[in-house]
Amino acid sequence: MERLLKFHGDDSKIIIWEHNTHIGDARATDMADEGMYNIGELARLHHHEKGVVLVGFGSYSGTVVAGRSWGAKMQFMNVPAARKGSWEYLLHRAGVQNKLLLMDDFMNDVFMENHIGHRAIGVVYNPEYEKYGNYVPSILPMRYDAFIYIDETNGVHPLHIAPDGHQVPETYPFGV
């Protein structure tokens, strides 16, 4: 990120598309208790004056394309209904409509006082872990500036490859 900003100059802007555990500010999760940090936290710490905006995503249920472990074949997987008490469960209970939450509206709310489970689905996902894992305790208004909630998702795959496990994305594993 720093090299790109330096290369393109002081007036440049950057959009980083990352998994929630990478882009959401780690200080609003239990990651902070373990001394971990991520790009969302670093962006806020080093570039807050430039208007950093962190956007998270969540879903109640649906499908996703992921692998069961690192290097595993991509496959469509069912995403079961969100665990009771999680952010995704609470948003579903508030109505099955998709939602855009602007976190400034929640800064003085009860949601600032409690870490609530927020589902983590990324390149690696295992639906069997839903009961005990796959959730990151989070204070959502501190983790993101905005949150896009889609009640039911449909898994998608990169346009140039099919999720057959035999083709490797052009930027794997480093990205550009």
Q: What is the pLDDT of residues 85-100, one digit of tens each?
A: 999 999 999 999 999 9
Report if residue 72 sits inside a domain.
yes
| 49-66 CB burial, b ≥16 within 10 A, e <16 | eeebebbbbbbbebebbb
Report if residue 110 sits inside a domain.
yes
**CATH value at residue 58:** 3.40.1660.10
CB 139 within 8 A of CB 28: yes
**pLDDT above 90 (res 70):** no
- How many domains would you assign to the chain? 1
- The band of 102, judged by pLDDT with boundaries at 50, 70 and 90, is very high
pLDDT at site 145: 92
**pLDDT above 70 (res 161):** no
pLDDT at site 159: 64
Report if residue 175 sits inside a domain.
no
Boundaries of domain holding 62: 2-153
**pLDDT above 60 (res 169):** no
Place of tokens 């290369």: 7
How does the average pLDDT of the chain come out, rounded? Answer: 85
pLDDT at site 165: 55
The 3-state DSSP class for residue 97 equals coil
Report if residue 17 sits inside a domain.
yes
**pLDDT above 90 (res 131):** no
- The band of 176, judged by pLDDT with boundaries at 50, 70 and 90, is very low
Report if residue 170 sits inside a domain.
no
Report if residue 172 sits inside a domain.
no
H or E stretch at 63: strand 55-66
The 3-state DSSP class for residue 40 equals helix
- The band of 160, judged by pLDDT with boundaries at 50, 70 and 90, is low
| 110-133 CB burial, b ≥16 within 10 A, e <16 | ebeeebbbbbbbeeebeeeebeee
Q: What is the spatial distance between Cα 139 and Cα 130, in angstroms, rounded to a whole number? A: 20
Average pLDDT for residues 57-73, to the nearest whole number?
A: 90
Report if residue 173 sits inside a domain.
no
Report if residue 95 sits inside a domain.
yes
Q: Is the dihedral of CA 29, 110, 103, 53 positive or negative?
A: negative
